[in-house]
Amino acid sequence: YDDPDDAPRDGKKRSNFSEQEAWEEQQIRKSRLQFGSNGGGRAGDGYELVFDTAVDFVKSVVQTGDGEMDELAEAIDTKVALHRELQDERKNLPVYQLKDDLLKAIEEYQVLIIVGETGSGKTTQIPQYLHEAGYTAKGKKIACTQPRRVAAMSVAARVAQEMGVKLGHEVGYSIRFEDCTSEKTVIKYMTDGMLLREFLGEPDLASYSVVIVDEAHERTLSTDILFGLVKDIVRFRPDVKLLISSATLNAEKFSDFFDEAPIFKIPGRRYKVDILYTKAPEANYIKAAVGTILQLHLTEPAGDILLFLTGQEEIETVEETLKEAMRGLASKMPELVICPIYANLPTELQAKIFEPAPEGARKVVLATNIAETSLTIDGIKYVIDPGFCKMKSYNPRTGMESLLRAPISKASADQRAGRSGRTGPGKCYRLFTEFNFRNDLDDDTVPEIQRSNLANVVLRLKALGINDLVNFDFMDPPASESLLKALEELFALGALNRRGELTKTGRRMAEFPLDPMLSKAIVASEKYRCSEEVVTIAAMLSAGNAVFYRPKDKQVHADTAKQAFHVGDVGDHVALLNVYNAWKESGYSPQWCRENFVQSRTMKRARDVRDQLEALLERVEIEPCSGAGDLTAIRKAFTAGYFRNAARRQKDGSYRAVKSHQMVFVHPSSGMAQVLPPWVVYHELVETTKEYMRQVTELKPEWLVEIAPHYYQHKDIDEHETKKMAKGKGRAAM
Ligand code: CDP
Ligand code: MG
């Protein structure tokens, strides 16, 4: 704001505040801002942008009436103070000491492995250093991948705040179905899956000057595939820098993979952590965890608590139990501030976990694995670790993937414990025995690529023109059985031909950021002339599992409302369509949602997802058309994607998967749970006490042979034959 001409000169200026004075005031503030900022006012630093905000204030002062100047000046001071405080915090992070060395190393080497304790500032600081050092000049961007959506969002928000810019401007994030970036964006946090998708449009990632594969130790499926792809890119793009950043000290493996790339260590700052085990195994770790929290709260000195749980349901249970317990003990206990954090937590609540607890109160964070390394919450002194997490597992024989609760590895347990010793000595309460720890836990978590259905990944790689998957440069190759199964699955979906090459259908499917089965249903909707409906249902399925809610005191009402969407009883997919259309008809009304016990948050998300899917339809040249209530057409389109998930009812009301003969059940939350049609197709299996089918729709068996003749023969759906086969194979399948 060097040009005083920018100052408003119109007649609205304050009467007792001359233009000259206003300008001087601005100059004073400007110099103060420069003085207070990090780096002494180098161009490109965050101060400029704070200054912009200040200028906006001053401008509005000039235009507004008397007496408000003081108030506004105060607001500016607060902003400046906050900014300064943040800059001081930045300088206190371990990585700051090494800033110059780090930049030098990056300058010198094209690929660098960066290792440092969680919370040392890798994720939030390094992209800023690179930005300040000019890596974002000439319109190039810095990419920083995160395995988790919430981490990408929250880290981007933090960095935007540190730089004094609006989230989505210079600093943004990109996650599936949500792009919070703009033309201005130079630091882009994104999920590893999103960067993988970007290869489709830009195979050399030309718009990036630096790619940071962060949280590499997590070894997610997408990160592992990225390793192979970025390794290739650095060979033909000498101008690009690649940083692999990891929290574990076992970085040799990364270095080996990336042709002996040097390892840059950020010395950790970890205080002593006392580890306490239970004497005997805990029968119910939820109860044990709640008990431990309360006891800790009563007896231990100040310091926040972090409890690791496996998912949203557990977190909600603990939250409720704790609240109840606190109500009972209210007068006897200091306040306990409960902060949940998990992937589907609404964005507006996510920031809460970083806020310090009020004076005298103690914060307890209930988190999934996300707090193990992805997010650092300051002030944690006590960690409670039940020793479990949700883990994907894959059975290549049945082709089924499921999310199961499983014991964590020793490496994970140590990471978790370390979260308590960041700012001072900490304590970690393990809700399992020392014997368990030593003898039952694996040393390391098996990389996700070795326990996943690979159909999605194989489709993406094929779409990138990578045909020879057996020789793809994997850090740890998947089992060849899994690769084969994925190829088979894609062939059955018509995405690959007999030679394993991508078909037109496959190319179209790869455009959708969805599971291949769901992408196939969308592509098939062209043939069945119901793309509008199928896209709506796909959006509803992708928006989250919580479409309906069921308040304890209004269960009957809620159930009646839900049942009303099941006109004709053909299945949950059509019910989802009915929900969406009714909501749309209400003018997307939140009031309508409340009246029908529908989660308005899920609906809004479904609408966003739907818009994006519709845009992709256009891209793959599928004309939007409506089947005008032809429920058979809609169900056939889904069957074209999900024919493998066909199941047949047994006498006892259980079902058997048509091909694998696995025993499965209709999930109690399904509208089909009372109907139990003889043949069904389902969206997914969830395993709790049994294998449950979630989102179930009625099917005519002859459709299977009609739609997937290469997969089903008449003998599969024939009464007599099926029984015989079930007898022979069914036992083994159980
Ligand atoms: O990546 P690394 O684990 O090395 O550290 P980081 O995520 O960059 O965190 C550095 C600091 O930023 C920590 O002290 C965090 O508490 C803080 N931070 C924050 O306050 N809010 C966020 N959303 C993310 C980080
Ligand atoms: Mg990090």
Q: pLDDT tens digits for 360-402?
A: 899 999 999 989 988 888 899 999 999 999 988 887 776 677 7
The residue among 418, 364, 409 whose CA lies nearest residue 387 is: 409
Dihedral sign of CA atoms 296, 297, 299, 303 in order = positive
Ranking 346-350, 691-695, 708-712 by mean pLDDT, the lowest is 346-350
| pLDDT in the model for residue 374 | 84
pLDDT for 539 beyond 60: yes
pLDDT for 404 beyond 80: yes
Token pair in block for residue 429:
């309460």
3-class SS of residue 222: helix
pLDDT band at 701 (very low <50, low <70, confident <90, very high): very high
C-beta 146 within 6 A of ligand 1: no
Is residue 392 a contact partner of residue 349, using CB atoms and an 8 Å limit? no
pLDDT band at 12 (very low <50, low <70, confident <90, very high): very low
Q: What is the DSSP string of 88-142?
A: HHHHHSHHHHTHHHHHHHHHH-SEEEEEE-TTSSHHHHHHHHHHHTTTTGGG-EE
Distance, in Å, from the CA atom of 187 to the CA atom of 448, rounded to the nearest integer, reads 27
Q: pLDDT tens digits for 453-496?
A: 999 999 999 999 998 888 899 999 999 889 999 999 999 999 99
Can you state the angle between helices 192-201 and 455-463, rounded to 10 degrees? 30
Ramachandran area for residue 264 (φ above 0: left; ψ -120 to 50: alpha; else beta):
beta
Distance 377 CA to ligand 1 centre (A): 7
The residue among 661, 651, 633, 634 whose CA lies nearest residue 722 is: 661
pLDDT for 682 beyond 80: yes
pLDDT for 22 beyond 80: no
Q: pLDDT tens digits for 56-68?
A: 666 665 665 556 6
| pLDDT in the model for residue 680 | 96
The pLDDT of 176-201, averaged and rounded, is: 95
Which residue's CA is the nearest one to ligand 1's atom 10? Answer: 121
C-beta 505 within 6 A of ligand 1: no
Distance 597 CA to ligand 2 centre (A): 38
| pLDDT in the model for residue 333 | 78
Q: Please report the ipTM that was assigned to this predicted complex.
A: 0.98
Q: pLDDT tens digits for 95-136?
A: 999 999 999 999 999 999 999 988 899 999 999 999 999 999
pLDDT band at 15 (very low <50, low <70, confident <90, very high): very low
Distance 119 CA to ligand 1 centre (A): 5
| pLDDT in the model for residue 627 | 80
Q: Please give the residue that has the higher pLDDT: either 224 or 718.
A: 224
| Number of the ligand 1 atom closest to the C-alpha atom of 377 | 16
| pLDDT in the model for residue 50 | 56
The residue among 637, 658, 677, 670 whose CA lies nearest residue 717 is: 658
Q: Please give the residue that has the higher pLDDT: either 5 or 715.
A: 715
| pLDDT in the model for residue 83 | 87
Return the percentage of the chain with pLDDT > 70, whole number: 88
The pLDDT of 323-347, averaged and rounded, is: 84
Q: Please give the residue that has the higher pLDDT: either 61 or 17.
A: 61
Q: pLDDT tens digits for 555-578?
A: 899 989 998 998 777 899 999 999
Distance 122 CA to ligand 1 centre (A): 8
Can you state the angle between helices 455-463 and 516-524, rounded to 10 degrees? 60
C-beta 378 within 6 A of ligand 1: yes
The pLDDT of 581-605, averaged and rounded, is: 95
pLDDT for 40 beyond 60: no
| pLDDT in the model for residue 248 | 73
The pLDDT of 225-246, averaged and rounded, is: 96
Ligand closest in space to the Cα of 116: 1
pLDDT for 46 beyond 60: no
C-beta 154 within 6 A of ligand 1: yes
Q: Please give the residue that has the higher pLDDT: either 447 or 76.
A: 447
| pLDDT in the model for residue 313 | 87
CA distances (Å), origin 436, targets 354, 385, 402, 430: 33, 13, 25, 10
Ramachandran area for residue 441 (φ above 0: left; ψ -120 to 50: alpha; else beta):
beta
The pLDDT of 299-307, averaged and rounded, is: 94
pLDDT for 341 beyond 60: yes
Beta carbons within 10 angstroms of residue 268's beta carbon:
17
C-beta 123 within 6 A of ligand 1: yes
Distance 147 CA to ligand 1 centre (A): 15
Q: pLDDT tens digits for 486-518?
A: 999 999 999 999 999 999 999 999 999 999 999
Q: Please give the residue that has the higher pLDDT: either 372 or 3.
A: 372
